[in-house]
A and B are shown apart, each in its own frame.
Chain A
């Protein structure tokens, strides 16, 4: 069974057709990338998958359930992290995680928080206020929040945007391990092409609200007749070209 099945999603904001018939699936343990230039419709698509934006048409099913009709059940098995989101600044990191563990209806929130703090090596930050964290530390806490409920689908918008190369590498390793060992499906957006090449099994290229190409990094490079994903990105972004 597919973890995520989005069919023919469309969204218009005024004169702008932000998303124009996007369909995609993500399977168990798969790491899928959603790439495209700024304004291509990636975030709107993610937000439709999370129920933050209601599509004009199309359907979103997760774990075989329709998101619109089974929102609570679906969202209890999904999580999300985005570099542009904040967390309550006055709270200690442990308190933030404890609150979110409860918001996800976990049975033993404190125990789960302790596990996650260990997993992401957040022990030194646990008693610090969120507002005192660096952007990289904040990203790690967001990721910790995103792993609290052992999601079967993890949606990540620029997951390593604010991390230094070392921290970014560790987080990428952790996410890949989570996907491979637990079967959690990942759907990520990123402007770091090396990251996408390294992590993603399948990549969906979005331009002007449509998916214009999809495949593995090697397949896409081959289809576009270029050496790597970055050149594919540049072709899509600058020329809007799609291989025949």
Chain B
């Protein structure tokens, strides 16, 4: 069998699709074979939902209006951001933990294809988490996620894209500083939690922080969600701003990834991930 018969031309769209699919298929197989990873999809969303759910029930008893929907909506949307950031980074870290990263880097898979594969795989886990949480929120607290309306789709999309950008930044940090930097993969998203006004309106922040928060895509999502749940219209201007910020975040993250990958190859750090 000749090479041409065996493989697609390396720069063809079919080859690119096949290589991206390779990353997805591999990670799906790993998920299927790892009960711990499946358990994780259920565990954290349920814990968050139970804790915050009962807090909201308590506050509701104190006659605070809209509190159930606002806090549960916030918990659900926060999970979207959190999972998007974590799952992509974990996909990369699993290649490091299994000393497989060099095997991947000597394949024709391009950095863009590799990241695309990780992102597509993360979608499956995010979707599973959302469904589980939405069902539980409805069953336990009578909160229907769909009450957010059509705005739910762009809200989630903005948060996912931001999460993926943060994941790429975390991966870049590991490439630059080594395995010790993997703590960044778990914690980077939490830097944005107070700024994004997940559980409170941004107006309660000091002015300086409000200014910074305006440059965080998630801020506009959570503010928008509160507006919708409070009976207002979908704030498309905020969503547009958030989408523009997402583009900037992704561009910056990819630039950083390219920079750190080149640096890792130049300094020999990439090779050390195989040791």
Contact = CB atoms under 8 A, between A and B. Distances in A.
B106 A75 contact: yes
17 contacts: A44-B268, A53-B268, A75-B108, A77-B3, A84-B99, A88-B94, A95-B26, A99-B25, A100-B22, A102-B18, A103-B107, A103-B108, A103-B109, A105-B14, A106-B8, A112-B6, A145-B103
B15 interface: yes
B107 A75 contact: yes
Interface string B252-275: 000000000010011110110011
Nearest to A95: B29
> What range describes how many residues of B lie at the interface?
35 or more
A77 to B, nearest CB: 6
B105 A52 contact: yes
A76 interface: yes
B30 interface: yes
Residue among A47, A76, A89, A149 with the highest chain B CB neighbour number at 10 A: A76
Contacts of A85: 99-100, 102-103, 274
Nearest to A88: B98
B108 A106 contact: no
B6 A129 contact: no
B19 A107 contact: no
B108 A105 contact: yes
Nearest to A11: B268
Nearest to B33: A90
Given A82-B102, A149-B3, 19 more contacts: A13-B267, A18-B268, A47-B268, A50-B106, A51-B105, A72-B10, A82-B274, A84-B99, A84-B275, A85-B102, A87-B98, A90-B34, A92-B33, A99-B23, A103-B23, A103-B108, A105-B15, A105-B108, A145-B103
Contacts of A50: 106
A112 B102 CA distance: 22
A76 B10 contact: yes
A90 B30 contact: yes
A25 interface: no
A6 to B, nearest CB: 16
Given A76-B7, A107-B5, A88 B274 contact: no
A152 interface: yes
B240 interface: no
A82 B274 CA distance: 9
Name B's interface SS: helix
B274 A103 contact: no
B139 interface: no
B108 A54 contact: no
Nearest to B110: A72
Contacts of A54: 262, 265-266
Contacts of B33: 90-92, 95, 129
A200 B33 CA distance: 41
B99 A104 contact: no
Interface in A56-108: 71-73, 75-80, 82, 84-92, 95-96, 98-107
Contacts of B6: 106-107, 112, 149-150
B150 interface: no
Nearest to B21: A102
A54 B105 CA distance: 13
A216 interface: no
Nearest to B109: A103
Contact of B7 (A90, A96, A107): A107
A89 B34 CA distance: 10
B87 to A, nearest CB: 16
A103 B23 CA distance: 7
